[in-house]
A and B are shown apart, each in its own frame.
Chain A
């Protein structure tokens, strides 16, 4: 089955700096890669996703890049703010139709933005 590894497990940055979180996956058939943000006491919130036919996607301060050859994808957050502090999870799905039917999650990155 799919295996997703996520690094780093913890990340501290100064407010205004950029943060980068990286994930690798094992199943070359994986074709859908969402990122979730989880705040304390809440469920994961979808912040951005990318499908295998796209190499990069951007939404305001958040961007995701995908390298299918190397089987890795990354989350980039620019101009970080204290409210960005949370646990971030990457995930991958190898469902035939590129749906989100069965996501395999990474182990999470605790991001702390220092004021």
Chain B
């Protein structure tokens, strides 16, 4: 049990809508990362949040945005949904400690865009 929890587990939206996904990090962790996993592929890095600020971003457009709260939980927001946004969205938490940082993933939110 990793301790990272995500909600909701499944979500169906239509093209053009907006969505918010939520993540609670594992106890003792201070960093949250978000990844997108398309069917049959490896996860792709979206961004990481540390001390409530974005701490690195992958190749995703600005309509993907996030927040980290003082209790280290996090939200991923996606605006103007496109069909290609259909994927499993994974949250991972870690303790930022330089060379010993390890990512622990939640079970993800399956987003379907129709």
**Tally of B interface residues using CB under 8 Å:** 30
Report how many A-B pairs have Cβ atoms within 8 Å. 70
Q: Is the CB of B106 within 8 A of A100?
A: no
Residues of B within 8 A of A (CB): 2, 4, 33, 35, 40-45, 48, 55-56, 58-59, 90, 92, 94, 96-99, 101-108
Given contacts A43-B4, A43-B107, contact A102 B101 (CB under 8 A): no
Question: A24: shortest Cβ distance to chain B, in Å?
Answer: 14
Residues of A within 8 A of B (CB): 1, 4, 6, 32, 34, 36, 41-46, 49, 51, 89, 91, 97-108
Given contacts A45-B105, A46-B103, A107-B41, contact A97 B58 (CB under 8 A): no
Q: Is the CB of A103 within 8 A of B2?
A: no
Q: Is the CB of A89 within 8 A of B103?
A: no
Q: Is the CB of A45 within 8 A of B41?
A: no
Question: A74: shortest Cβ distance to chain B, in Å?
Answer: 17
